[in-house]
Amino acid sequence: MSVFKAVIKSIEENDSKKLHKLLQRKSTLNLQDLNEALLFAASNGKEACIIELLDVQVDPNSTDLNNKTALQLLLEKSFSPSAKCVRYLIRAGCNAPSVLQLALHISSRRGFSACVQTLLDNSAPIDWPDEVGNTPLICAAKEGRTAIVDILLDAGCDANAVNNEGQTALHVASKRGHISTVRALLDLASPDVLDVRCETPFLLAAKYSHAAIVEELLASGVDLQVQDKRMKRTPIMWACVADDLATIQILLSSNVNLESRDVDWKTALLLSAEYGNGTSTNLLLPVTDISAVDVRNEGVLHKASKNKYFKLQPYFTKLVKRTEVDVKAEGGRSPLMFASFYCQIGKIESLIVEGANPNLTDRYGANSLMYSVLSGGYRVEDVVKMLIRANSNLDIRSNVRGLAKALNLKMNLPLRTLTIGELALLREEYYVIQLLLTSGANVWKISTDDLIHYNPNLGNGLKYIKLVEWFKRKAPELKVLCRKVVLQSLKNTTMIRELPVSEQTKRFLKYQELDSVVSLEEKESGKQNYIVQKRSSPRVSINKPLYASSIMKLSKNKHSRPVSMLEFRSPTAKPQAPLRSWSTSAVPSKMSNQSSKLAANYVSPYSKEVLMKSKNNLSPTTKSVKFNLQVQEAGERERRFTTGFGKYLTKTIFNLTKAVGHGKK
């Protein structure tokens, strides 16, 4: 083992005697090795080894890769460095002003009182700021080191020195809640100094819920109405935001002004209700103006109604009894509309009991029931039941598109006005539709002509509507709706044509009415009878053009990608993802007669174009072709749609046909 490794091992073991013997052979160690050993001992807090190394005249100002000296490493890494070792390093030559300044900051922050006193005795700079402007006093006050604060103040440091944010030691102590440090600083520090955010120590103490410090600073005569720079809020406002009852009671006993306004023209009561603080709201109700409104004309009842966390129902009931329940805010919105939009069951009940009108409308013509259906939130069915029992208008029309934009909802909605039933159908709230129809809503005002363009999955939930009488009356429109759903599906996938459709469904939804998918030009020029031949080759071999619908079902082949269907996009559809190509190396399985007929009768223009190009590339010797179909990668939702929607739609159409048939009987 080399001498240097033995030195390091002895330092790890904190064996100063062994280290002393090794250092006797100094000729085998160079100065760099000794400096590294000193830094290693300092970073591990081995004070006895540090003293032994300093006796052999190493460089005490040598630094590590982070440009830190042995004194800094000792104060940073050690749990309780002794003043003796610090004094030894300083006397050995580690006494540059910059080194002593950093050492004083570290000692003040970590609470090493003896080291701080030693550094001050050796002329360490007492008010030298660090990279963020903190002096040793600010560092000590930030961590609540009251003993070090007393030492620094006795040494004559500046109690009102500020950092880069304009904060003094009293600011940081008040913000952190160090009451003993605040008391030590109040004799010399000014309590009304403003930082860059125009915040005083008193404002910070109220903002961060330190009631004891608020009471201590009040005794020194601070300004009660100080406002911050950004929000223009006073200490009582910040106490209401934090729901700090102790601070609020202390400030109320000091006759603070409760009618001050912030940048949004909110009072302390409005802020308390907006943040859902029931206890502080109840405390302020008897002593402040409850009719105050903010810049959006919203009062205390509006704030409490739309807050999801106003859980103290007795306080809300008391608030409802003291205020007007039908007052309108910006846009004509009432408290009941806000409560309905956020599905607040208890608040809705309290408002209705106190006489709130559920048929009030806003500037877009929407009532509270329209707000609840538009939100589609949790327990929307219970909200609809309550509003229906309160005799809400079920057939009202409103500009839902404008309302959604005003509420910052990103929804694809028609430009025309919608009824509540149409909005529920568009939002797929089928249980709400049942509630509306059983409560007497006019079904003839529900038009489904254009809704399919805004929600392609509109037909998915029709099977949940169990009202046979409604089926009887709306049978013609239901047929039109189902045909539109099928047409929309056929424009995106050819899989629907492969479904085994029952005769009853055929009578209900005739395939002749769906021929608009294939152009008349294709019907006249295209040949309908094409033969798919099964060869021994693993590839698909044909002697005539093969359409996509003819190879929907493919058998699995161990050399090929398992394919259950091929998806074909519309020729006008824009690709949304990178394209991928593969070879269809599989043999088509035997198809049913019905599927073959459907495949022959319905040909998508895109698949015909692809396969006609493949025909021109046939090899004259083998008469086989390798299809390189560029198929767009579909997302999970599109795959679900193409694989499951066809069967689901057929079942839905069958159920509708059955229901309409029963109705006719």
Residues 476-511 have pLDDT tens digits of 665 566 656 555 555 544 444 444 444 544 444 444
Q: What is the mean pLDDT of residues 377-390?
A: 91
Number of independent structural domains in the chain: 1
For the beta carbon of residue 124, count every other beta carbon within 10 angstroms. 23
Q: What is the mean pLDDT of residues 139-163?
A: 94
| Residue 577 lies inside a defined structural domain of this protein | yes
Q: What is the mean pLDDT of residues 369-389?
A: 91
Residues 213-238 have pLDDT tens digits of 999 999 988 999 999 999 999 999 99
Q: How far apart are CA 542 and CA 535, in angstroms?
A: 9
Residues 396-413 have pLDDT tens digits of 999 999 999 999 998 888
Which range, 382-396, 408-422, 633-647, is most confident?
382-396
Quickly state the pLDDT bin for 449 (edges 50, 70, 90). Answer: low
For residues 318, 324, 328, 334, the Cα torsion angle rounded to the nearest 10 degrees is 40
Q: How far apart are CA 421 and CA 346, in angstroms?
A: 25
Quickly state the pLDDT bin for 546 (edges 50, 70, 90). Answer: very low
Q: What is the mean pLDDT of residues 439-457?
A: 71
| Residue 483 lies inside a defined structural domain of this protein | no
With residue 628 as reference, give the H or E element that holds it.
Answer: strand 628-632
DSSP classification of residue 522: H
Predicted local distance difference test score (pLDDT) of residue 483: 58
| Residue 632 lies inside a defined structural domain of this protein | yes
Q: For the residues of 389-411, what is the DSSP string, one character each?
A: HTT--SS-EE-HHHHHHHTT---
| Residue 556 lies inside a defined structural domain of this protein | yes
Q: How far apart are CA 114 and CA 84, in angstroms?
A: 9
Tokens of 467: 């009202």
616 pLDDT above the threshold of 80: no
Q: Which amino acid is at 46?
A: K
Quickly state the pLDDT bin for 621 (edges 50, 70, 90). Answer: very low
Residue bearing the bigger pLDDT, 534 or 394: 394
Predicted local distance difference test score (pLDDT) of residue 117: 94
Q: Looking at 110-114, 316-320, 371-375, which range is the least confident one?
A: 316-320
For residues 202, 208, 210, 214, the Cα torsion angle rounded to the nearest 10 degrees is 20
Q: What is the mean pLDDT of residues 190-198?
A: 92
SS3 of 48, please?
helix
Q: Which amino acid is at 487?
A: L
Which of 84, 74, 85 has its CA nearest to residue 110?
74
Quickly state the pLDDT bin for 51 (edges 50, 70, 90). Answer: confident
Tokens of 322: 């003291």
Q: How far apart are CA 313 and CA 307, in angstroms?
A: 12
Look at the block and give the residue holding tokens 């798919």.
532
36 pLDDT above the threshold of 70: yes
Residue bearing the bigger pLDDT, 201 or 515: 201
610 pLDDT above the threshold of 70: no
Predicted local distance difference test score (pLDDT) of residue 475: 55
Q: Which amino acid is at 311?
A: K
Domain of residue 542, residue span: 521-664
Predicted local distance difference test score (pLDDT) of residue 95: 85
Inter-residue contact 95 to 122 (CB < 8 Å): yes
338 pLDDT above the threshold of 90: yes
Q: Which amino acid is at 471?
A: F
Tokens of 201: 């120590």
Which of 612, 624, 623 has its CA nearest to residue 545?
612
Q: How far apart are CA 230 and CA 234, in angstroms?
A: 11
Find the helix packing angle between 31-43 and 47-54, rounded to 10°.
160
Quickly state the pLDDT bin for 5 (edges 50, 70, 90). Answer: confident
Tokens of 279: 């206890």
Q: What is the mean pLDDT of residues 21-31?
A: 74
Q: Looking at 75-79, 615-619, 646-650, which range is the least confident one?
A: 615-619
Quickly state the pLDDT bin for 328 (edges 50, 70, 90). Answer: very high
Q: How far apart are CA 199 and CA 206, in angstroms?
A: 11
Inter-residue contact 392 to 358 (CB < 8 Å): yes
Please list, residue by residue across 622-634, b when 16 or more beta carbons sit within 10 angstroms of its beta carbon and e when fewer do. eeebebebebbeb
With residue 40 as reference, give the H or E element that holds it.
Answer: helix 31-43
- Distance from the Cα of residue 98 to its chain's centroid: 46
Which of 221, 246, 251 has its CA nearest to residue 236?
251
| Residue 178 lies inside a defined structural domain of this protein | no
Predicted local distance difference test score (pLDDT) of residue 587: 32
Predicted local distance difference test score (pLDDT) of residue 96: 87
Q: Which residues pair with 624 in a beta bridge?
A: 541
DSSP classification of residue 615: H
Which of 327, 379, 389 has its CA nearest to residue 352?
389
Between strands 628-632 and 579-583, the pairing is antiparallel
Which of 313, 315, 314, 338 has its CA nearest to residue 325?
338
384 pLDDT above the threshold of 70: yes
Q: What is the mean pLDDT of residues 339-357?
A: 92
Average pLDDT, the chain: 74
Q: Which amino acid is at 405?
A: K
Residues 75-102 have pLDDT tens digits of 988 888 888 899 989 988 888 888 999 9
CB within 8 Å of 368: residues ≥ 6 apart = 334, 336, 337, 339, 340, 358, 360, 387, 392
7 pLDDT above the threshold of 70: yes
Q: How far apart are CA 477 and CA 484, in angstroms?
A: 11
Quickly state the pLDDT bin for 595 (edges 50, 70, 90). Answer: very low
For the beta carbon of residue 324, count every other beta carbon within 10 angstroms. 16
For the beta carbon of residue 636, count every other beta carbon within 10 angstroms. 7
Residue bearing the bigger pLDDT, 459 or 184: 184
Inter-residue contact 517 to 545 (CB < 8 Å): no
Residues 550-574 have pLDDT tens digits of 333 333 333 333 333 333 333 343 4
| Residue 191 lies inside a defined structural domain of this protein | no
Q: What is the mean pLDDT of residues 532-541?
A: 33
Quickly state the pLDDT bin for 427 (edges 50, 70, 90). Answer: confident
Residue 479 sits at φ, ψ, to 5 deg, of -60, -45
CA neighbours closer than 13 Å in the CB half-sphere of residue 131:
0
Q: What is the mean pLDDT of residues 584-604?
A: 37
| Residue 559 lies inside a defined structural domain of this protein | yes
Predicted local distance difference test score (pLDDT) of residue 388: 93
With residue 281 as reference, give the H or E element that holds it.
Answer: helix 278-284
Residue 267 sits at φ, ψ, to 5 deg, of -95, 180
Predicted local distance difference test score (pLDDT) of residue 107: 94
Predicted local distance difference test score (pLDDT) of residue 437: 74
For 485-502, the three-class secondary structure string (H helix, E strand, C coil) is HHHHHHCCCCHHHHCCCC
With residue 632 as reference, give the H or E element that holds it.
Answer: strand 628-632
Inter-residue contact 269 to 284 (CB < 8 Å): yes
Predicted local distance difference test score (pLDDT) of residue 424: 87
Predicted local distance difference test score (pLDDT) of residue 481: 60
Q: How far apart are CA 376 and CA 630, in angstroms?
A: 40
Note the helical H segments in 275-329: 278-284, 300-306, 313-322
152 pLDDT above the threshold of 80: yes
| Residue 607 lies inside a defined structural domain of this protein | yes
Residue bearing the bigger pLDDT, 498 or 185: 185
257 pLDDT above the threshold of 60: yes
Q: Which amino acid is at 97?
A: P
Inter-residue contact 166 to 196 (CB < 8 Å): yes
